[in-house]
Homo-oligomer: A and B are copies of this chain.
Amino acid sequence: MAGSPLPFDPIAEARRNWEKHGWDAEAAMSAATSITRAHQILLRRIDAALEPLGLVFSRFEALALLSFSRTGALPLSRIGQRLQVHPTSVTNTIDRLEADGLVARVPHPTDRRTTLAELTDRGRALAVEAATALGEVGYGLGGMDDDDLANVDRALRPLRAAAGDFSGEAPAT
């Protein structure tokens, strides 16, 4: 993607430069850049694993969420809340899933404002296939053991807490 690989860690290098030039908050810069980079690596691997199935991560997430619901159908607004994405992103995601015949839009039985996204049989089956495919590559985290994975959860918890992702729940270990 970006020519040849570098012979050094670009984040460590950036940090050295930060310090050398007297720019502050280098620890925060370094952590923020690590997160950005980790996300990039992850998304690339995940999408690569899903590509043969015609999915991308965001669409898979919606499919998974629907699979877990009792009836296989949820209001678009609830999908947006759970996935923490903008309503227009949900519209877009469901548009594509619907075009692929993986979900169907059905009107809400009582609230006429609301549209439900309902899993089709193909959608339900594909969600399982995709989960399997992702499991095989460890959700892009292949190579990390359970300790490593727990460390990631734990390390990012303060950030998510500050963003209000929990409401005072007990931290899950």
Please list the residues of chain A having a beta carbon within 8 angstroms of any beta carbon in chain B.
1-15, 17, 20-21, 23-25, 27-32, 34-43, 46, 57, 64-65, 67-68, 77, 80-87, 128, 131, 134-135, 138-144, 146, 148-160, 162-167, 169, 172
Contacts and interface: CB of A to CB of B under 8 A. Distances in A.
A33 B37 CA distance: 14
Contacts of A152: 31, 34-35, 155-156, 159
A17 B84 contact: no
A155 B154 contact: yes
Given A31-B149, A38-B35, A155-B154, A135 B12 contact: no
A155 B158 contact: no
A153 B40 contact: no
A124 to B, nearest CB: 11
Nearest to A7: B167
Given A14-B82, A17-B68, 9 more contacts: A2-B85, A3-B77, A6-B81, A23-B128, A25-B139, A27-B150, A29-B134, A34-B157, A38-B159
29 contacts: A2-B84, A3-B77, A3-B81, A6-B81, A9-B166, A9-B172, A10-B83, A15-B172, A20-B68, A27-B150, A28-B144, A28-B149, A29-B139, A31-B144, A31-B150, A31-B152, A34-B153, A34-B156, A35-B38, A35-B39, A37-B84, A38-B39, A39-B39, A41-B159, A42-B159, A144-B159, A151-B151, A151-B154, A154-B155
